[in-house]
Amino acid sequence: EVQLVESGGVLVQPGRSMKLSCAASGFTFSSFPMAWVRQAPTKGLEWVATISTSGGSTYYRDSVKGRFTISRDNAKSTLYLQMDSLRSEDTATYYCTTDGGAYWGQGTLVTVSS
């Protein structure tokens, strides 16, 4: 059974940092480009970042470029999202997903508030 389990979502103050993790199982993690997609409360889906299978290529939406870093550890079948200089507008449920959207985690809530 395919599983993507996100963790790390918490309440954090603006300007602070946090790191999300996503543990994958049930499929060949290293064969899939992976992505983070977020959803602000009561809003639609918003792509955040994608990383290639090897980790050698990364892509970001403009609003997080220079603040967020996507990475992966294929030996551990784990995806990460390092989020720095957090803003209130980053408040959302963050989903870990294969870049094509075939597999999704349950999401982890990140709240940025003072």
Partner 1 sequence: DIVMTQGALPNPVPSGESASITCRSSKSLVYKDGKTYLNWFLQRPGQSPQLLTYWTSTRASGVSERFSGSGSGTYFTLKISRVRAEDAGVYYCQQVREYPRTFGAGTKLELK
DSSP state of 1: -
Which is closer to partner 1, CB of 14 or CB of 63?
63
DSSP state of 106: -
Name the minimum Å distance from CB 29 to partner 1. 17
Distance CA 70, CA 35 (A): 8
The answer to whether 101 contacts partner 1 (rule: CB under 8 A) is yes
Distance CA 81, CA 68 (A): 7
The span of 23-31, 67-75, 77-85, 103-111 binding partner 1 (CB under 8 A) equals 103-111
The answer to whether 107 contacts partner 1 (rule: CB under 8 A) is yes
Judged by CB under 8 A, the chain residues 21 through 80 that form the site for partner 1 are 35, 37, 44-47, 50, 59-62
Distance CA 6, CA 22 (A): 4
Q: Give the type of residue at 57.
A: S
Binding site for partner 1 (CB under 8 A): 35, 37, 44-47, 50, 59-62, 95, 97, 99-102, 104-107
